[in-house]
Amino acid sequence: MTPTPSPIIPYVAHDLSDPADVVGAIRKRRGGQLINLDRMLLHSIPYARGWNAFIGEVRRNLSISAKHREIAMCGVAVLNGAEYEFFHHSPELLAAGGTQAQVDALRLIDNETADFSMFDSTEQQVIRLTFQMTRQIQVAPEVLGELQKQLGNTKVVELVGVIAAYNMVSRFLIALGVGPEEHPPTPASA
């Protein structure tokens, strides 16, 4: 585990309440709490408002399975070295039906000898897509073609969007030194 970074810019206060509409919407999505990511985003109200709406849609309203979404998010986190992201999404993967062995395997996504045999064939393609989009940017046509056969057009577009969105999240977290909270998250808080 990497050391907890110190934020480059101090977090806003835990008890921030203004502007009420934005802070209230974020608290509602988070189950009442502001996490460190929110506390950094709230330095820019327009950015926090837009982020909350966009990521809220990505997290709650897509047709792609929660397990596929969380495999991708955890993979992006490891590939980019965003421990905060992994800290929040590995419990979500478990809650979506993943196993601890799968969570542990995703920690090795950047290792050529990693064993992903505990994932089904579609999940292995999700891992390949995550790796290729995050490391190479270009995606092999056969990876997208196989996912298109297995998931259909809508879910492939959503999966690509999830991977792109969480690459954005990890870059924001790392650039500003956003670190994990003192207590582990509960599923659906990130």
Q: What is the mean pLDDT of residues 150-166?
A: 98
Confidence of residue 184 (pLDDT cuts 50, 70, 90): low
- CATH topology assigned to domain 66-176: AhpD-like (1.20.1290)
The half-sphere exposure of 127 on its side-chain side, counting CA atoms within 13 A, is 22
**What Å distances lie between residue 136 and 131, 133, 144, 166, CA to CA?**
8, 6, 14, 15
- pLDDT at residue 145, rounded to an integer: 97
In the chain, CATH 1.20.1290.10 covers: 66-176
**What Å distances lie between residue 72 and 5, 31, 81, 103, 123, CA to CA?**
23, 23, 14, 11, 9
pTM of the entire structure?
0.91
- pLDDT at residue 23, rounded to an integer: 96
- pLDDT at residue 1, rounded to an integer: 46
Q: What is the mean pLDDT of residues 167-189?
A: 81
CA dist 20 and 139 (Å) reads 42
Confidence of residue 153 (pLDDT cuts 50, 70, 90): very high
Q: What is the mean pLDDT of residues 94-99?
A: 98
In the numeric block, which tokens belong to residue 69?
């979404």
Confidence of residue 5 (pLDDT cuts 50, 70, 90): low
CA dist 53 and 97 (Å) reads 26
Share of the chain above pLDDT 90, in %: 89
Q: What is the mean pLDDT of residues 148-161?
A: 98
Contacts of 10 (CB under 8 A, 6+ apart): none
Share of the chain above pLDDT 70, in %: 93
Q: pLDDT by residue (tens digit) across 19-52?
A: 999 999 999 999 999 999 999 999 999 999 999 9
Contact between 109 and 80 under an 8 Å Cβ cutoff? The reply is no
Burial of 52 (0-12, 13-18, 19+ CB in 10 A): buried
